Structure 1
Amino acid sequence: MQSLLYAHGDVQNPLPETVRVLDEILTDFMQSIAFEATRAANYSGRQKIKYEDFEFAFRKNPAFLGKVQEVFEKQKEIKKAREILRDGEDEIMKDAADEEKKREKSDTRTGGAVGAAASRVEEELGEADDDAEAELDALGKKR
């Protein structure tokens, strides 16, 4: 609540009474909207509240209705983006697996010499990264 008040122009540490009053106002507002949405759902013969029930509850206030619609539209966009990303990740993983299989096949065809050289190169790169003096400098210790 303090962050909400501060974001809308109040001091960083508002009076406890101010926070309490805002909490009461928001709680009453949320309860009344939830009650209206529940009543709309019950009238429709449902026990669960749906998006349309909140739209019905906000029908008399276009500003609130617009915000609710905007939030649900953004939620749909985020879901679509996640699906696209997940599908893209699956394709990338399949491509990487196919590429790895091709490399393994080419390594077995050319013999173990190429594979041993490649692993030696990887090991050399790994050891080159281990610089004890640089680690001591990073930790603030000197020899």
Structure 2
Amino acid sequence: MPVVGKPKPSAHALAPGQASISHQPHSVSVADAAASSLKRKRSVFQKDRKAFFCFLNLQHMMYGFGDDPNPLPETVALVEDIVVEYVTDLVHKAENVASKRGKLLTEDFLYLIRKDMRKLHRSTELLSMNEELKQARKAFDVNEETLVVTNE
């Protein structure tokens, strides 16, 4: 028959008055962490931000991408939050890229979207169209000094 007695002290036994410290990492699911991060970011945006987009313009954009012609106001607000968060993050990343040079350039944004070919192509297309518009405006910009010289 086995002898029952005091348990043998282990090497990890605590002295009287010592608190037990768990070496297990605090487990938080990825979904919980993402949700709390999103709530924190939304609250930051909602506290001190103005309406970045006109509500009606955002509704029209959403409709253009296949949404209902009259989406719920909550949906429009959520899309606005997502867009503002994306643009803010992109600007911060571009600032980090440009920090070595000290000047933020258009190329910094193109560098950040270089792996997304659709965004890169559309961005370069819009930039070239902007240059064309500048040239067209410049051609129609009438300078009074040149008018006086040509009339004499």
**TM-score normalised to structure 1 length:** 0.56
Using the alignment, how far apart are the partners of 1:75 and 1:89 within structure 2? 25
Q: Size of the alignment, in residue pairs?
A: 95
Residues 68-105 of structure 1 show CA distances to partners (whole Å, capped at 9, x for unaligned) of 111111111111111111258876x448844xxxxxxx
Question: 1:69 and 1:63, CA in 2 relative to 1: closer, same or farther beyond 3 A?
Answer: same
Q: Note the residue ranges of structure 2 that are not aligned, 5 or more in a row.
A: 1-57
Q: Show the counterpart of 2:92.
A: 35
- Of 62, 65, 71 in structure 2, the residue corresponding to residue 8 of structure 1 is 65
Bigger relative CO (Cα 8 Å, ≥ 6 apart): 2
- Aligned-pair CA distance for 1:15: 0.8
Task: Tell me, yes or no, if structure 1 residue 54 matches structure 2 residue 136.
Answer: no
Using the alignment, how far apart are the partners of 2:144 and 2:136 within structure 1? 12
**Residue 74 of structure 1 aligns to which amino acid in structure 2?**
M
Calculate the aligned-residue CA RMSD, in Å. 2.4
Using the alignment, how far apart are the partners of 1:4 and 1:70 within structure 2? 19
Q: Residue 66 of structure 2: SS of its match in structure 1?
A: coil
Task: Tell me, yes or no, if structure 1 residue 22 matches structure 2 residue 66.
Answer: no
**Residue 135 of structure 2 aligns to which amino acid in structure 1?**
K
Q: Quick one: percent identity of the two aligned structures?
A: 28
Q: Note the residue ranges of structure 1 that are not aligned, 5 or more in a row.
A: 99-143
Q: Give the helix-richer structure, 1 or 2.
A: 1
Question: 1:5 and 1:83, CA in 2 relative to 1: closer, same or farther beyond 3 A?
Answer: same
- Aligned-pair CA distance for 1:10: 2.2
Using the alignment, how far apart are the partners of 1:90 and 1:72 within structure 2? 31
- Of 37, 42, 45 in structure 1, the residue corresponding to residue 101 of structure 2 is 45
